[in-house]
Amino acid sequence: MQQRLGPEAPAFFACYAQPPRRGLRVNTLRMPVADFLAMSPVALRPGGLIPEGFEILEDKPLGNHPAHLGGAFYLQEPSAMAPLAALDIQPGMKVLDLCAAPGGKSGGIGAHLAGQGLLVANEVVPARAKTLRHTLERLGIANGVVTCARPDTLCGALAGYFDAVLVDAPCSGEGMFRKDPEAVAAWSPAHVLSCAGRQQAILESAAQAVAPGGRLVYSTCTFSWEENEAVVEGFLEKHQDFSLEYSRRLYPHTYRGEGHFTARLQRNGAGKGKRQGSLPLPACKKAAYLEFCKDALEAAPPGESIELEDGRVLILPGPLPKGLEKVRVLTAGIYAGDMLGSRFQPSHALAMAAGVDWRRKIRLAEEQQQAYLHGQVLAIEGGGKGWCRVEGAGYPLGLGKMVEGALKNHLPKGLRLL
């Protein structure tokens, strides 16, 4: 870094004595930025990369705040928002996030898609893929597919399909040094080189998935040239059909964040990607599901409903590409609920999904929100009868059922606060 940064190096090294910067992204699927700012639990200032990205100015824990659990915001340090800015997502696009867990950038992509188009969020490590699924559920993303596949398998199966592909690559994590001592301990020159090899392989796979005319964004949270510019240069030498639009480094001493590298590449060619036929799936014909929709929702969520072998009912955002059957799909669209024999039981995910309008919405005061999040049953007057969505101030908290003046708590046990 001394060699690369020259006269800037002392400022770079000095910033490692400072605490890490924190940030959050307002989830615009839940509410407009102005509404969030009016109720924000912490002082914020704009991060400058995306309109809904902010730096947090107070040292206050936020993970268990109801607005966080309700998906009104996502905690993300400000410079990690650079890839989302580079992707320039427009509603209706088909987007692949190839290394997606825990889901920070996928969440942003989903928000920018605004319910239109398709997000395929992939994570190769199974336990992390589960976390990814829960993040997207919490953020209310209804047009996502979560997969757990190797990049070469997934990108081979969906070659030429995506308008935009993000590779937020596993890296040596120098941008994590201020907040994660393990990243410091794991660092070595050999680790940097092994990361670079893996990054080249992932990017090579990713290239296949990009439609002609589509874009590929490569990012890391590290500063070594081997893992950043060198990976991009090596890629461009092999792929004459791609060109570099720009690359950008954010450093902790030049920007109010932990640092990020982003490169935006464009695949030559005009027009949209190969439109592959729809994945054939069995339609859900269960009258019980439709009966539930009639009773509890203003309208059944648009999209085809399918029933999986395990009884889960999913509402698909639109036709899914052929090829997905070759990879492990954890969930797709909205996980509406389960068929238990001939009975339909709605899921927590349905209560969290953005764009689903419930007939019964039980809005809780702050103290009641805490009680609900701790798994308690609440006495509610005039709440009606039947399944309902439990809400905080403009964001959902989960599922409930009104029975004789009591709000039965259907928040999954694993999500309850201890």
Residues engaged in binding ligand SAM (CB under 6 A): 99-105, 123-125, 128, 151, 168, 170, 198, 202
CB of 153 to ligand SAM, least distance (A): 11
Q: Tell me the sheet residues that pair with 331.
A: 146
* 221 included as an active-site residue: yes
Q: Provide the token pair at 116.
A: 């239109």
CB of 98 to ligand SAM, least distance (A): 6
Query: Of the two residues 100 and 211, which places its CB atom closer to ligand SAM in the complex?
Result: 100
CB of 344 to ligand SAM, least distance (A): 33
Bridging pattern class, strands 312-315 and 334-340 = antiparallel
Altogether, the residues listed in the chain come to a count of: 418
CB of 168 to ligand SAM, least distance (A): 3
> In 106-117, which positions are buried (b, 16+ CB within 10 angstroms) versus exposed (e)?
bbbbbbbbbbeb
CB of 135 to ligand SAM, least distance (A): 8
Check the CA dihedral 233-235-241-243 and report its sign.
negative
Among 31, 216, 219, smallest CA distance to 111 is for: 31
What is the secondary structure of 161-176 as a DSSP string?
Answer: -EEEEEEE-----GGG
Among 81, 40, 383, smallest CA distance to 260 is for: 81
Q: Provide the token pair at 244.
A: 């570099």
- Residues 314 and 370 sit within 8 Å (Cβ to Cβ): no
Fill in the DSSP letter of residue 241.
T
Query: Of the two residues 232 and 336, which places its CB atom closer to ligand SAM in the complex?
Result: 232
Q: Which of 148, 171, 195, 221 is catalytic?
A: 221
Query: Of the two residues 106 and 369, which places its CB atom closer to ligand SAM in the complex?
Result: 106
Query: Of the two residues 126 and 412, which places its CB atom closer to ligand SAM in the complex?
Result: 126
Q: Which runs of consecutive H residues, i.e. helices, occur in 335-413?
A: 348-352, 366-373
Distance between CA atoms of residues 68 and 56, nearest Å:
14
Query: Of the two residues 104 and 321, which places its CB atom closer to ligand SAM in the complex?
Result: 104
Query: Of the two residues 125 and 365, which places its CB atom closer to ligand SAM in the complex?
Result: 125
In the block, residue with structure tokens 């936020």: 62
CB of 406 to ligand SAM, least distance (A): 38
Q: Provide the token pair at 73.
A: 């915001």
Distance between CA atoms of residues 23 and 45, nearest Å:
9
Enzyme catalytic residues:
221
